[in-house]
Structure 1
Amino acid sequence: MSGTVTAPLVGAIEAAWKAIQAQHADVPEVVVTLGSGTQKQGMKLGHFAPDRWARGEDRVHELFVGGEGLARGGAGVLGTLLHEAAHGAAQTRGIKDTSRQGRFHNAKFKAIGEEFGLTLDHDQSIGWSVTNVPAPTAARYAVEVAALDAALVAYRLAEPTGAGRKSNNNGVSAQCECGRKIRVSRSVLDAGPIICGVCEAPFEAEEE
């Protein structure tokens, strides 16, 4: 993207983040990055990554925004920013709000997300992660939504993900939070949680 597209877009995202910080003092500073959100397991709209950037002796968190999700417009992007800001607040508060390598959003995340004005629906695979912005929240950030809409003049096209590959008869690889891996049949993994004896987290299937 050219500077005339990128600079206003990043500026609008940063301004919206500052507006969220004004409402919630424990939302931390971030470095905004844009890129592809296409993944084998689904589209990544955003991600909060702690301590990814160095500024002298300090560490700064990263706010990633998936370019494909920009097609949803200002209100949709606001939902992503509020979602990631809730993760940022959890980091500040020392609250573990996810498991399964950050994919599964637990009830603690739901509570913070609702505190930030979101409504969150439950998904069996990712927990309380399905994010919606109700009308009162959109109205609270109306200036920021309008600025995002004005800046969203382009979005990233989704990439092919290789869907339709034949299944692997050798089972699936699963990983826990501490990084240990096992290989089991899909039917065994789907029958119920397999708990790691080290980190006490369930093994989750990896995309292959």
Structure 2
Amino acid sequence: MRPELLVHRDTIVEGPPAVLEAILHVATHALCQVRGISETSNRGMRHNKHFRTVAEELGMAWPPGESPHPTKGYSPMLLTDETKAGYAPLLAALGKALDGVVLGVASHETKGRTGTRLTLQCECTDPVRTFQIGPRIASLGGIRCEVCGALFTEK
């Protein structure tokens, strides 16, 4: 499986500094995992002081004098001025790449389920891997199994 980082459209709309904050937030979690640090509690919702410490290593800061959020703890951490300056070329390039990009809200003519479901299956045999999907979603393109490498097809 290829690693990927999902950035919410609202974050992209906020601009390059918000995208960098999101990337560094995820990088903080990754660094904590590699180091064996437990950085969250409450099913990953509350970010503790260990998260804050590692985020600070990556160029983020908690607003001085502010208490942690009652539910989220030390999240969101913010970029420091030094971090913004250090990433200025990247932020400028990202801003240029995003200039003119329109992120609309997807609209679909059908509303809700039609009741029709397709059962798709790959080439795996032990165990057999199947799932159900609506025909409209299935028509958008192939879905490949990352175990056997074959496309899921209707069985």
Comparing both structures, which one devotes a greater share of its residues to strand?
A: 1
Give the number of the structure whose alpha-carbon radius of gyration is greater.
2
Gaps of 5+ in 1: 1-53, 55-59, 160-208
Say which of 53, 56, 80 aligns to 1:134: 80
TM-score normalised over the length of structure 1 = 0.44
Gaps of 5+ in 2: 107-155
1:75-114 CA distance string (max 9 Å, x none): 1211111111111111111111111221110110000001
| Contact 2:40 2:47 (C-alpha < 8 Å) held by counterparts | yes
Equivalent position SS for 2:7: strand
Equivalent position SS for 1:64: coil
Partner of 1:66: 8
TM-score normalised over the length of structure 2 = 0.58
CA positional deviation for 1:131: 2.2
CA positional deviation for 1:73: 1.1
1:135-187 CA distance string (max 9 Å, x none): 1110111111111111223364579xxxxxxxxxxxxxxxxxxxxxxxxxxxx
Moved segments of 4+, more than 6 Å = none
AA at the equivalent of 2:39: D
Q: Which has the higher contact order (CA 8 A, sep 6+)?
A: 1
| Contact 2:52 2:77 (C-alpha < 8 Å) held by counterparts | no
Partner of 1:100: 42
Q: Name the Cα RMSD after superposition.
A: 2.0
Q: Distance in 2 between matches of 1:118 and 1:104?
A: 17
Q: Matched residues, percent identical?
A: 34
Asked whether 1:120 is paired with 2:62, we answer yes
Tell me the matched-pair count. 101
Label 1:104 to 1:157 Cα distance change in 2 as closer, same or farther (>3 A): farther
